[in-house]
Structure 1
Amino acid sequence: MEHITLASREYEFRNHTIKPLDIDEDPSGLLRGGVGSTIWDAAIVLAKYLEKSNLLSIASSSTSATETPRSSTPINVLELGAGTGIVGLAVARLLSAKGVEARVLLTDKENVVPLLSRNIQRNPSIGIDIQAQTLDWEEDESSSSSSNAQKIHALIDTNWDMVILSDCIWVPGLYKPLISTINALITPSASKTQLVIAFEKRNFAEEMEFFAMLGKTFRFRDIKPEEQDADYQSEDIYLFVCQRRS
């Protein structure tokens, strides 16, 4: 795969002391990654919001006076449907710049993982353990022996500080399995886990059905334009921060 030449796109941080990301895309479909091979606008808007917001600072701070300070406990970040990995890799760079140790796990369908792994190799961050893993919530979860169910079960024991979902709610038929996966990963006892969602409006009525379903187990608030990066936002792109109902 190393000899394959792909399109490359640079992501620059507001803080110019942070090394830019160099992200490969695959518009010609050489790696057969489908829609996950492209950097979508919602991913850029979300990454820029995370640069500006204090969410990462909250995640890396002490949660209570009796708990071990987060500075000595690695932060756990999970991205679902990571695609090229640009959001998770940006989070990794931002945490690294803060001197925070972290584990960043980027997941997607099997056909997307080769490109995702390639971008992880191209964009290491000091002190951050970045890995790619196949996780496809579209798979049939009715059998406890399914590979997807096993992967989800292996991830449940991790206390995720942040779970990221960028532009993954454009297929209504996948709403139910996606929410099932989210509910399995973020249990009621993990009420401090932040679920951060970005999506570009395509069929607003259908997309609000997703949030109606998600609202049964999560409370959420929308991120106002004034909270976002002034140069990277759109009236068609929505951001939400969600937390599991206890």
Structure 2
Amino acid sequence: MADLVNFATQFADLAPARPIEHLGDTDLTFGGRIDFPLKIHEDGGENGCGGKIWAAGQLLCEHLIDNSDANGLLSLCSEKLQTHGSFTNILELGSGTGLVGICAGLLAKTNGFKAKIYATDIEKLIELMNSNTKLNGLEKYVFPEILMWGEPLAEKYQAGTPSRIDLVLAADCVYLEDAFPLLEKTLLDLTSGDSPPTVLMSYTKRRKANKVFFRRIRKHFQIITFTDFDRYEHYSSKRTYLFQLVRFQ
């Protein structure tokens, strides 16, 4: 375990750097599905692969949008979501620009749904996530925070606490083989206890080595792939998929 924690502290250096590409703002309406465009600033690769919008993040956003209504965010998760006081707690892993968490925050605000969304990543991406949260006026809904995969969870994220997590979101987190055991540990920690949160993941298939991650987590989770949605063919042509992880009890 000590070796795993030590490795986690170096995780920020694992993500390969990208050449700086474009630096700018993107307005997203997801094909007119939302009335108010979601605004995202990309850093052009300044902070590695996390500062860019990827197809997997867009797919997960579309799924959230398609399964939200005036009665509450994420109607597809209604059986699993547990409210604490008047809030539902949502955590996004590997947020990068904050796209998915901000989308969830926008849906919560638009639909009058009380939620706290924790958009988490390595320290050097917090400023970008904060900037994008403010750009969308969601400071009361979205809270960018550091979460290093493989390290012990903050107490507020743990099962049995008033602020425990009801829903975990992860877009394009399966990309670096050295980080697979860290991501696996964090998913296991987040889903411990008698009533684990719903876990929704989107993923772009890029290399054969990624099979290692899915082989590992199949020991602990059932993987349910979503195929019955309008843009399935569009995303599958990009080798991008959406699924739910269900922790074995």
Fold shared, TM-score > 0.5 on shorter chain: yes
* Alignment partner of 2:99 out of 70, 86, 89: 86
Using a 3 Å threshold, how does the CA distance of structure 1 residues 180 and 72 change in structure 2: closer, same or farther?
closer
| 1:215-235 C-alpha deviation (Å, 9 max, x unpaired) | 2221120011x3253685233
Post-superposition CA distance 1:92-141 (Å, at most 9, x none): 11222222100000000011111011111111249x5210101121xxx6
Contact 2:92 2:169 in 1 (8 A): yes
- Measure the CA separation in 2 of the matches of 1:48 and 1:28: 24
Q: Does structure 1 conserve the Cα–Cα contact (< 8 Å) formed by 2:118 and 2:143?
A: yes
2:63 is matched with 49
CA contact (8 A) 2:202 2:241 kept: yes
- Out of 193, 205, 213, the position equivalent to 1:210 is 213
Report the equivalent of 2:224.
221
Q: Any stretches of 5+ residues in structure 1 without a counterpart?
A: 142-147
Secondary structure at the residue paired with 2:123? coil
In the alignment, is residue 233 of structure 1 matched against residue 209 of structure 2?
no
Residue in structure 2 matched with residue 199 of structure 1 by the alignment: 203
Q: Given the alignment of the two structures, is residue 36 of structure 1 paired with residue 50 of structure 2, yes or no?
A: yes
Distance in 2 between the 1:175 and 1:56 partners?
Answer: 28
Comparing 101-110 with 178-187, greater Cα deviation is found at 178-187
Structure 1 residues 125 and 14: alpha-carbon distance in aligned structure 2, compared to 1, 3 A threshold: farther
Task: Find out whether 1:133 has 2:145 as its counterpart.
Answer: yes
Question: Residues 147-190 of structure 1: CA distance to partner in whole angstroms, max 9, x if unpaired?
Answer: x43x5344213332210111111111111111101111111423
Which secondary structure does the structure 2 equivalent of 1:202 belong to? coil
TM-score, scaled to structure 2: 0.78
TM-score (norm 1): 0.79
Identity of aligned residues (%): 26
Q: Supply the distance in 2 between the matched residues of 1:242 and 1:96 (Cα, whole angstroms).
A: 27
Summarize the Cα distance change of 1:72–1:231 in structure 2 as closer, same or farther, 3 Å threshold. farther
1:8 aligns with 2:25: yes
- Aligned pairs, how many? 220
Shift of 1:42: 1.1
Give the superposition deviation at 1:73: 2.8
- Judging changes above 3 Å, is the alpha-carbon distance between structure 1 residues 228 and 189 closer, same or farther for their aligned structure 2 residues? farther
